[in-house]
Structure formats: C-alpha cells, structure tokens
Structure 1
Amino acid sequence: MTEDTGGHITYVLGAATALVRSRHVDEIEIVTRLIDDPALGAAYAVPVESVAPGLHIRRIDTGNRQYLAKEAAIADRPAFQAALLRYIAGLKRKPDLIHAHFADAGAIALDIRDRLGIPFIYTAHSLAIDKALANDDGIDMSARVAEENRIIGAANAIIASSRDEAERQLMLYPAACAARIHCIPPGAALDGWDQGNVAGAKGLVAPFLRDPAKPMILAIARPVAKKNLAGLIDLYAADALLRARANLVIVAGLRDGPHSGEPEQRQVIGALLERLDRHDLYGSLALPKRHGQADVSGLYTLARQTRGVFVNPALTEPYGLTLTEAALHGLPVVATCHGGAADIVGSLDHGQVADPRDPAGFAAAINRLLKDRKTWAKASQNGRRNSAALSWDAYAEQFVTVARTILPAASVGAPAKPTRLLLCDIDNTVTGSRPGARELAQYLAAEPALAFGVATGRSLQEAVRLLREWHLPDPAVLITSVGSEIYWRDGGHLVADTAFAGHIAQGWQPAEIAARVRGICGAEPQAPVEQRRYKQSWFVDERSIVAAIRDAVADLPVRVIYSHGRLLDILPERAGKGAAMVWAARRMGIARDQVFAAGDSGNDIDMLAACRNAILVANHSEDLHALRDSSAVYVAHRSHAGGIVEGMYAYARRTAA
C-alpha cells in the first residue's frame, strides 16, 4: 500500500470480485503497472496474480519497474499504453469490454477502442472541475479538465456512484451526455471487512492518546488538499467542548515520514503535524503513519465501541466510500454537504451532513451526535441495517445491464412499428404496487403495436433506476425533468433529443428567473442535483407563494408547475409533459387519438389535459380533480399500475363498441 491507496482500490477489487461471480462474466483481468520495489514487497513484481476463480491481476512491465506516484506515472503512460496494446493484440480472444478508472486509464482505453474496436466504460472517481471549484489554490487544471472532457465525450458508457456525480459533477463537462451516464452505487465494503483487527487498531492509536477510552472522532482519507483534514484539526481545536469530550484520529494515507510522497502529500501531512504542535493537541490527536486493511476495519469498530463518530470534512466529495464502510460497522457519521456524500447519508440515514466551510456548524453537528445517545444509537442501527442494500453483487447486476447496452447483440430483426403510444408518470403511477407493476409489464408484452414511454419529473438516471427496480420494460421514449428533456431508445442506447432541446430553448432566461424568485420569501431552491439546463426547481409550502412566483415571472416565456403541495418547477414556455407528449407522438408518426397518458399528480395536468385518452389512477391527488368530469379522461377504480391496465382495457372496449 502507498500514499495513492484509497477508496478507489476498494472499489476496483469489490466490483471485479462481484462481477466474476456473475453467470454473465467468464473472466476479468485487473491491469496495472509492474513494480519491483523492496519497500513494497515482492507481490507487486509478480506478472500475474490470482485473486479468485476467473479473476487475476496482470501487471504490465513498461521497462520502468520503479514505484511511481500518480503525477510521475504520467510520464510512463505511453510505455504502459504501448505494452498493454501489444498484450491485447496478441490474445486469441480479445476482451469484450474495458472498464477504465480515472481519466488516464480512460485515455488508454480510448486508444485501444480506436485501434481494436473494444468498447469501454469509464468511471471517473474524482473530477477536476469539482476539485477546482472546491480548492482555490491557483493550480492550473485546464489540461486535466480537457482530458476528462474528451473521455466523457468518447466513452461508450459512464458509471457514476451518486446522483450528484451523475447529474451535476459530470454534467459540468461540455461533452457530457446524460443518456450515457448511469448511477450505480458501489458496495459497502469488501468481503470480510466487518471483522477487523480491533487489537491492531488500538495499537495504532495508543501511543498518541492520553485517554483512549474517550469517544473517537475518526477520519480516513488520502492526504490531498480537498479532503480538508487540516481544517478538521482546526475546528476540533477551536471547540473546547469537542476537545474535552472526544479524541481525534486521522488516518491520512501511508507515509514513512513528513518528507515522503508527492508534493501534495508532503504539504498536507506537514499541515497536520504543524497543527498538532500549534494547537498543542498531544494526547488527544492521533496521526498513525501506516496501517493495513484489517486495521482500518478495526478502527471503525473501535470508534463505534467508544460511541464515537466518523467524519468526512471534504470541501467536495464525489462519493465517499468510507461513509458506507462506517455504516456497515454501525458507526454514525457527520459528512460534508458538498458532493455525493449527502446522497449516502440521505439513503442510509446514519448521521448528518454539514458544511465544512462553516467550521463551528460542522463541530456542532459532531457534538450533537456525541451528546445525544438516543440519536447516536438510531444512526448506528440505521447504518448497519440500510447498508446491507449496498452490495457489490447488486452493483455487478446493474453493471452487466449497462454493459449489454454497448456490446454487439445478435440480430433479431427490426421490431414492428408501433401504432399507439402509452405515456405514464412513474412515481405512484407505474410504481406503488408490485402486483400492479407485474400486470402492466405483462400487458405491454402482449401489445407489440403499443409503444411504452414515461413522462416524469425525475431525472433520466433516476427514471431508469426506478424502472429497473420495478422490473418494468425499457421505454421507447423517456420524457424527463417535468417535460424539459426527451430521450429515445436506439437499440440498447438512449439518445438525447437535441431538436426538442433547441425548440424549447427560445426565450429561456435562467439567470433572470432565478434572480426574481430568490427575492420571494418562502421560496427555497432545491438541491443543485435537481436543477436542469431547462428546469429550475424550488420548494414552496404555501399556494400564496406560488401565486407570487407566477406574478414575478408573468412577463417571461415560462411555465410554472406546482405539485405534491411543495414542489415548484419553472420551465420554458414550450416545455412540459404535454408539449413533450405531442412532440414525441409526431416524431413517432402516431396519431393524436392513438396516444394514451396516465398520471396521478399536479405535474401531470398539462399532459393529461392535452391527451384524448387520459387515465387518472385511483390514487390521484386533489390537483387533478378538475379533470375528472372530462369525457377524454378515464378515472380508474384501481390505483397505481393496475389502474393503467384498467384504463387501457376500458378504452379498448369503447373502440370496439
């Protein structure tokens, strides 16, 4: 293990180990550089290492066998690329797919695809634009941003770990296309990590701590500036209550001494040691130099046993695999609100998020967890229970689904051209009843001339995730983000409808809209991940505020949509589910009287009102009561997807009569 060892190593091993267990995968090779360095041990110089049946690590000899940290490794990349290309070209059976981790691997995978035709999936792990936004350190990252943009634009598919990474971080790049980005959360930890070496963990921290029995505030991160470890020491030192109540333990990678490693590592470690002395934290701050995998698991367990807290104070965090590891060990967390960490804490419900740029507020969040035993116990229990859903096997299953969309498929002939279109909302319309969802899937399978589509307020990635989770068929068209985006299925791929985007863009003034709404008391912007190029989303709890917003933007070419008693979306005037439905039917060559639409909430109003064959499922909201008397609306007796099927049979009977 070196200073470059981090969560991405756990990711690669966890993903590969689970994938090779899949019946759809024959063999996996993890490819890296061959290193012959006595300080690291002989294992890194073994050309081929077996990890599990069908899984092995192949180390490529570039002619330079020295250990090279990430910056120095850039110079060795051409030699690695050439050697890897020669190896693959000489194989009797070429790989079906390459999974590239980080942009430098993506550049190599792109070259191999261009030469040998092997498609590749890209996982970024860390993106330069977000790092640059978080760190105002004057480092020029334009070259890295340009390379990342090239890989993001070229990859056959992209795997992101969180909604924030999929829908905000990656979409900051001009070449990004949402249709090729898939959000697949990684597993919680490697097999066996729930055991750990508690005795070893105690041995790591004992030399540093005056009272090891105190609750432990634990942070584990690579020694890079954006992890904000020095800021963590500062906020701990500034809070007398926190210092009296708990010890601080920071595992900042691996080091031989303060002057070892790359320049950034030396700078970060130096800052930690300087603060240890400046704040006189001897006896309450532990900075262990070296550790093993079992020691890390032991530290999580030890922190839980002391009723401590795991913290991630990063200025930005693409995902935060350590937060899922803490959950697996029953250790509550306080995590940064910037990046994907909020997704993890929100789904696992095992702690709190706070802003590390507000040190006092971040310290207060830690104090609250340490002080409130009932809240701590609930967070610990939630973490252990909810992290069980984050399995590497679940990741592998979704990865295989994505891989199939980019691999060549056997020809089965062109499908019949549909003559009818059924568009359905997702939340509480096609979802909400498992038996109903199964019935809808069976109905659609028996109707080859009926195209299935969805029209949802959710993003593309969330829509795809939910449809897979509910085992519903792949839609021919996806109208997402409340009708501000359209995506078409082309075989296994999804393609953005850029013509529709251009059509609705006319007159759209997002900065002006935001400025006007921000001035209205009671309108709170939704999270950045919910905002879109042609959609602004707000929380509004009172209809009087909705009216004020409508008045504020009345002279602008926009559409204001209010639903679920709290969610307000502002779209271009030409957007919306109804307009998107008409656009989609026209492009498919389907007559308006052969279009069917089903929904349950306020953001479905314009679609249902514009449809000549609308279906209100029985669980529809009060927002739709005004539509009940229309002859063009069928009000189902059944809820959710069962109501959709009921409505379709009712319209069929009308036609037959």
Structure 2
Amino acid sequence: MYAMHIALGGCLKAPPVSYGLTEDTGGHIAYVLGAAMAQVDLDPSNHVDIVTRAFDAPELGAVHAQAEEAVADRCRILRLRTERSDYLSKSALEAELPALRRAFCDMLAAMPRRPDVLHAHFADAADLARHAGTRFGIPVVYTPHSLGIDKGACGHRDDALEARIAAEAQTLRASDAIIVSSRDEAERQVESYGIRCGGRVHCIAPGSMLTETDAAGTSGAEARIAPFLRDLRKPMILAIARPVHKKNLVALVQAYASNPALRDRANLVICAGLRDGIESGNAEQREVITGLLAAMDRHDLYGHMALPRRHSPSDVVQLYRLAAQGGGVFVNPALHEPFGLTLIEAARFGLPVVATDRGGPADIVERIGHGVTVDPQDHAAIGAAIERLIGDRAAWSKAARAGKERAGLYDWTRYAARSVALYARLCGKSAPRPRLVPRSILASDIDATLTGSASGAARFSAWARERSCGYVVATGRSIGEAQRVLAEWDLPRPDTFITSVGTEIWSEDPKGRLTLDMSYAEKLDAAWPRAELLRAIADLSEDFAITPQAPLEQREWKLSYFGSAASALLLDRTLEMLRFDVRVIASHGRFIDVMPRAAGKANAVAHVAARLGLDLSHCIAAGDSGNDRDMLMACGHAIVPANALPELDDLPSGPRLLRTAERHADGVLEGLARIGRMPRPMPRFAHGDSGTLAVPS
C-alpha cells in the first residue's frame, strides 16, 4: 500500500515538533505523523508520503524549505514549492490553493508510481486531493480535524468562515471516505452539514506519540515552572493548548482565581504555545496571552500561577509526569474540542482530567474513565470539578488507574490497521467477499450476539469467508458505531447494514461506499410526524418515568429514551390513543425506541430480502434482546444464543426458533449448523473455547 497524506498548514516536520510555534502548529501535525509512521510499521511493503507546503522562514526552521525530508524508513515529507515563499497562516492559504493544486498535480504526474490513496487533512488539503483524485483516478480520504460550523458556534461568523464551511461541505460530499476520531465528530459535527454521508464516515481513534518512557525524570519541567511558583510541592493544575480564544484558557484562570480553596491547595500551570514576548505571534495569540497575564495580575496570582513563554516536547512529557506524581489534574476547558489528544496523553501518565463537555472529550473521558466533563462556560463548575478531584484521594486514584489501564484503547497500531484496511477497500486491494446470489440471508444483531467472545468472533469470521448465504447485520447502533464495533472485534463486513433498530439500511455503491437506501427512507418518512411526537412524549415523560437518551442516540427516524418495559407498554398504548401510528420497542430492561410503524428490524430485513427476490421465509435471524424480537418472530428461522436476555424467554422454541447451548457468535454458528447452513454438524463443547467448531476449510 502506498498512501499519501496531505496537510498544508503549520510547521510540519519530522519529530520533534515545536507544537505551538505558530497558531496552526497543533494536534493535526501529531496526528499526521503518528498515522504515517504507524502505517509504514504495519507492513514492510507499505510506503507513506506526507505532502505539505514549502516556505522560507529561518526563524521557524530551515527544514521547511527542503523539498524532501525523511521521517522514518519508507516514510518521507515532500514539500510543494510555489512562487509564494513566505510562511502563511491557515486563514491565508486559500489564495494560494490554485498554485498549490498545480504544483501537486505536477508532482504526481512526474512520479514513476502514484499513490494508491490520498488522505487529506482539513478542507484546503482536500481541495488538492479532489482535483488530483479526479485527474489520476485515486480515491480520496478526508479527515476534517476541526470543522467551521463548530468554530462559528464559538464566536462571530464572517465571510471567510462561511467560505470555509462551504468548502468543507463540498469535501464531505465528494470524499470517498471520511475518517474522524470520535463519535461526536461522526454523528454531530459532520451531520450538522446536512449531508447524508454517514456510511462513508469511519470513527477510527488515533493514538498518542508520547509514552511514559519519554524524557525521564521531572527536572526540566521543574526548572521551567519554578521561577513562577512559591511552593512546587502543591498539586498542579495543568493546561496545554494553543493560545487561541476557543481553547478558553482565560476562563480557566478565572475558575481557579474564584475558588479560594483551590488557590490555597494547588498551583496553576498553563503552557499556551511558544512566544518570545507579549507582542510575538498573530493578533489572536497576542490577545489570549495578554488576557492570561491580565487575569493573573487582576487576581494577584503571582506565586500561584505559571505561564512559561516556551516549552519543549520533553518539558511536556515531564509536566504530565510531575503533575501526576503530585496528585494534580489536567484541564481542557475549550469552548469546543473536536477531539482532545492531550486527554489521552494525560491518561498515559495516570493524570486525571477535567474536560469540556463540548465535542470529542466526552467520548474520551467516558471511554477511559479518567476524569469528568464540565460545561466550559460555567467557571464555578470548572473550579468545583478540579477541587473535588484534587481533594478526594479515592476518586483521584481511581481516575489515575483508569487512565493508565485504558489509555491503550487509543493506539496508533490499531489505527493503522483499520485505516489501511479502509484504503485497501477503496482502491480494490482488499480480500474479495463472496460473490453470490443468495437463496437465504442471515440477519444478525451485533452486540452480545456476534461480540462477547473473541475466539467465537474469529470462528464466525471463518464461516463468513466461505458462506453460501447472504449476511446482514441488524443492530441498534448507528452506522458509524456499527462499523467501529465490527472492526474492533475483527468481524466481517456484511453485505448490508441495518442500523438504528431497523430505521436505516446502508448498502455499498459500485465504488464500495455505503449509501443510505432512500426507497426505504422515503417509506418511513411518509408517516413520521417526528416533531409532533417529540412534543407529545415530552409531555408524557414525567408521568411515564421516561427520559431522553443522549442527543447522539437520536436519529432521523428513531427517538430513544430510558425507561422500563412497563413504561414502554404504557407509552405505546397512549401514543396509539393519540393517533400516532408508530412502533415502540423496549429492550435491555431500560431502553425504549420509538419509530415509524414501517420500521423495525423485521421490516428492514424484509426490504433487503425483497431486493434479492426473497422474503422473510428465506431469512435466518439471530439476536439476544428485545429489539431483535420482531425479526426473530418474523423470519423463517431464528437463533437465540444462550446468553440472550430474559426479555426473550417467552418466545416459543421449536423447529423454527432455536435456543442454543453456546453463547454469542458460537451460538449463532451452532444455530446455523442445526439449520443446515454449515457443511457438517458442529460438536458441542463447554463454554470457555475448548474444542473447535466445524467450519468450512
């Protein structure tokens, strides 16, 4: 695989990188370098180039004028040269895009071998990738990193921002695939553009290039902050961010200053980019630094707050370590944070976090469990959250342990494997799936049906490679989450995705891109008074003891709530009395989903079957919970694995509905064997993965 990343802004060079050297030298550069180096390490045959812009600015480093720079074996940086040779901020790059586009296409035209895939970072780089992709027939992958709509929500929207938003929308429409880092990016940020691209959005979490073994000790960090602080022994409140308004650093100073107990107990250390003085940097940087210094002076924080002018990569490592050793906390108070790489870095060092609840940090903190999220505009809440973590040693220790234990969930090797597999699908280099005209279809739930046993999932994958029937997943998860979970469990991609409890159907187009089945969507739309339903359920929610699930769980044709099975039954009857023709589904003892009458897993499976000239009698359903009930009852055969929830106990067993002795994917395989969809009977064996399933060889 030969992949080419494109990232035009900031000071991109081989490590070490001086992050914060300019306002655009931030986390996206760590992402590009981490991705590229992990991708070449994945396979000795992989080659990765990184394309950026050349400029002459000795004060930023002579290396940025070099046409080529080695990063690692089989990985290099290539720099595009145009007539404009000075450093340009991201906002100034737009005028240079036509020249960069020509330079990029000329470079590709002269190459003896062109890349298999172009991976663009930000919409300006995607402009180059789109033109080159069209000219040379190369698929384009896009990673937004930060989207203009969210930036606009944090402040004034001007003509430049509107142009950026339009460019991002065009890129989302045109890209063959979109890689994002968090569910918030996938299902809120990207979807806010109103473009039906969910099937092309892949949530692949990046890793961190910092490790506990980097820059041993803490002496460098202590020397950096000691001149500012009276008592280095106090716990440290640490923030590391570029000096831009959306990072909300002045609010952190105000939160600290307005909490007397916190001021007395801890020191505040803010690393806000790199500067030579108050007047260095662009206008926004100067405003932020001036605001920090003014707040420090106004609240008389001398001796309590450190704001070093410069810091090195080794200083950052040692600051994380020093803060963790002293029982401190890392804080990200951004008004909006697309992802939040520093939160993963803090986790690696066992440093608990207090983070903004706007954007990717909510995903990271929920997944790792190493801190709390807060409203970034509530200064009192920020201060109180920090004070609680520092003051409660049990809570601090629990968060610190979680960080160290689970930071590995964000891993560059795992990122490389998934991203390269995606590249391979896009350029036709992945292993072919069975091409068949199925006479039957397996429609299986994912969670706890196919997942739950790694070895069982591997055996199911072996069956899927040689299967003679169609394979569909039918899940309550969104399309992005369904793809993520299948990839994390190394489960095979299905022929079709039925997602969001049977309210969305996604199938591959001729280019291998997942697209929404609009004929099914139009059928649901025809009788779906979503706004009226929302109001009606809101009026009933208190009496019926139901509460809305998180915004990310709400879909175009699905409203999701927390509540008991009894509450679901009461809601169903009441909505029917109110003349709403909808389906109410209870599952897992606490979830309630409301959707059009024409939706649900059974109806979606029937729709998929009809496209193949089949009906539900030709289908095999497999599931473990209440939201699988309709397809288990409707399909010609049904498989209920041994781990199924009690809410399915009332379904009658028999020749059509099989209850298996095995759990999870092994239960599905047992059912398939009993139905005759395996080449020979599967031997029974005790739970614990002893023995071998009889699967096609």
- TM-score tier (shorter): over 0.9
For residues 240 and 95 of structure 1, do their structure 2 counterparts lie closer, same or farther at Cα, with a shift above 3 Å needed?
Answer: same
For residues 591 and 514 of structure 1, do their structure 2 counterparts lie closer, same or farther at Cα, with a shift above 3 Å needed?
Answer: closer
Structure 1 residues 528-539: aligned runs within 5 Å: 528-539=551-562
Give 1:413 deviation, angstroms: 11
Structure 2 letter corresponding to 1:550: D
What residue number does 1:504 align with?
524
Determine which of 308, 313, 322 is the counterpart of 1:293.
Answer: 313
Moved more, 277-286 or 136-145: 136-145
TM-score normalised by the chain length of structure 1: 0.95
Give 1:412 deviation, angstroms: 7.3
Q: Does 1:465 align with 2:488?
A: no
Determine which of 549, 570, 595 is the counterpart of 1:526.
Answer: 549
Determine which of 589, 612, 617 is the counterpart of 1:593.
Answer: 617
Give 1:455 deviation, angstroms: 0.5
Give 1:631 deviation, angstroms: 5.7
For residues 50 and 447 of structure 1, do their structure 2 counterparts lie closer, same or farther at Cα, with a shift above 3 Å needed?
Answer: closer
CA distance in 2, matches of 1:230, 1:551: 52
Q: Deviations over 1:251-289 (max 9, x none)?
A: 122223333323322322222222122222222122122
Structure 1 residues 560-639: aligned runs within 5 Å: 560-629=584-653, 632-639=656-663
Is the 1:149–1:176 contact (alpha carbons within 8 Å) kept by the matching residues of 2?
A: no
Structure 1 residues 439-478: aligned runs within 5 Å: 439-448=459-468, 450-478=469-497
User: Residue 528 of structure 2: SS of its match in structure 1?
Assistant: coil
Q: Does 1:401 align with 2:421?
A: yes
Q: Deviations over 1:218-248 (max 9, x none)?
A: 1111222221111111111111111111111
Give 1:624 deviation, angstroms: 1.4
CA distance in 2, matches of 1:19, 1:622: 44
What residue number does 1:427 align with?
447
Q: Deviations over 1:316-339 (max 9, x none)?
A: 211100000001111111111111
CA distance in 2, matches of 1:310, 1:617: 44
Structure 2 letter corresponding to 1:529: L
Give 1:176 deviation, angstroms: 4.1
Structure 2 letter corresponding to 1:480: T
Structure 1 residues 82-101: aligned runs within 5 Å: 82-101=102-121
CA distance in 2, matches of 1:182, 1:38: 39
What residue number does 1:382 align with?
402
What residue number does 1:215 align with?
235
User: Residue 467 of structure 1: SS of its match in structure 2?
Assistant: helix
Give 1:433 deviation, angstroms: 2.3
Count of equivalent residues: 653
Moved more, 330-339 or 69-78: 69-78
For residues 480 and 287 of structure 1, do their structure 2 counterparts lie closer, same or farther at Cα, with a shift above 3 Å needed?
Answer: same
CA distance in 2, matches of 1:374, 1:260: 43
Q: Deviations over 1:580-623 (max 9, x none)?
A: 01111101222432211011101111111211211222222222
CA distance in 2, matches of 1:239, 1:524: 34
Is the 2:506–2:515 contact (alpha carbons within 8 Å) kept by the matching residues of 1?
A: yes
CA distance in 2, matches of 1:616, 1:63: 67
Structure 1 residues 118-517: aligned runs within 5 Å: 118-133=138-153, 135-140=154-159, 141-190=161-210, 194-195=214-215, 198-409=218-429, 415-448=435-468, 450-490=469-509, 492-517=512-537
CA distance in 2, matches of 1:412, 1:100: 26
User: Residue 39 of structure 1: SS of its match in structure 2?
Assistant: helix
For residues 196 and 121 of structure 1, do their structure 2 counterparts lie closer, same or farther at Cα, with a shift above 3 Å needed?
Answer: farther
Moved more, 520-529 or 189-198: 189-198
Q: Does 1:102 align with 2:126?
A: no
Give 1:41 deviation, angstroms: 2.6
CA distance in 2, matches of 1:360, 1:156: 44
User: Residue 406 of structure 2: SS of its match in structure 1?
Assistant: helix
Give 1:483 deviation, angstroms: 0.4
Give 1:409 deviation, angstroms: 4.2
What residue number does 1:549 align with?
571
Moved more, 410-419 or 620-629: 410-419
What runs of 5+ residues in structure 2 fail to find an aligned partner?
1-20, 681-697
CA distance in 2, matches of 1:268, 1:410: 48
For residues 25 and 251 of structure 1, do their structure 2 counterparts lie closer, same or farther at Cα, with a shift above 3 Å needed?
Answer: farther
For residues 428 and 594 of structure 1, do their structure 2 counterparts lie closer, same or farther at Cα, with a shift above 3 Å needed?
Answer: same
For residues 406 and 50 of structure 1, do their structure 2 counterparts lie closer, same or farther at Cα, with a shift above 3 Å needed?
Answer: same
Give 1:438 deviation, angstroms: 3.0
CA distance in 2, matches of 1:570, 1:129: 30
Is the 1:189–1:324 contact (alpha carbons within 8 Å) kept by the matching residues of 2?
A: no
Moved more, 467-476 or 622-631: 622-631
Is the 1:216–1:248 contact (alpha carbons within 8 Å) kept by the matching residues of 2?
A: yes
CA distance in 1, matches of 2:615, 2:487: 29
CA distance in 1, matches of 2:466, 2:107: 48
Determine which of 22, 26, 31 is the counterpart of 1:6.
Answer: 26
Give 1:417 deviation, angstroms: 0.9
Is the 1:69–1:262 contact (alpha carbons within 8 Å) kept by the matching residues of 2?
A: no
For residues 215 and 509 of structure 1, do their structure 2 counterparts lie closer, same or farther at Cα, with a shift above 3 Å needed?
Answer: same
User: Residue 553 of structure 1: SS of its match in structure 2?
Assistant: helix
User: Residue 396 of structure 1: SS of its match in structure 2?
Assistant: helix
Give 1:81 deviation, angstroms: 2.1
For residues 69 and 197 of structure 1, do their structure 2 counterparts lie closer, same or farther at Cα, with a shift above 3 Å needed?
Answer: farther
CA distance in 2, matches of 1:526, 1:414: 38
CA distance in 2, matches of 1:410, 1:243: 57
Q: Does 1:52 align with 2:72?
A: yes
CA distance in 2, matches of 1:644, 1:544: 30
CA distance in 2, matches of 1:65, 1:44: 10
User: Residue 228 of structure 2: SS of its match in structure 1?
Assistant: coil
Is the 1:421–1:451 contact (alpha carbons within 8 Å) kept by the matching residues of 2?
A: yes
Is the 1:121–1:156 contact (alpha carbons within 8 Å) kept by the matching residues of 2?
A: yes
User: Residue 438 of structure 2: SS of its match in structure 1?
Assistant: coil
Is the 1:19–1:25 contact (alpha carbons within 8 Å) kept by the matching residues of 2?
A: no
- Note the aligned Cα RMSD (angstroms): 2.3
Give 1:193 deviation, angstroms: 6.7
Is the 2:568–2:585 contact (alpha carbons within 8 Å) kept by the matching residues of 1?
A: no
Give 1:6 deviation, angstroms: 1.3
What residue number does 2:8 align with?
none
Determine which of 49, 52, 70 is the counterpart of 1:29.
Answer: 49
For residues 127 and 412 of structure 1, do their structure 2 counterparts lie closer, same or farther at Cα, with a shift above 3 Å needed?
Answer: closer
What residue number does 2:17 align with?
none
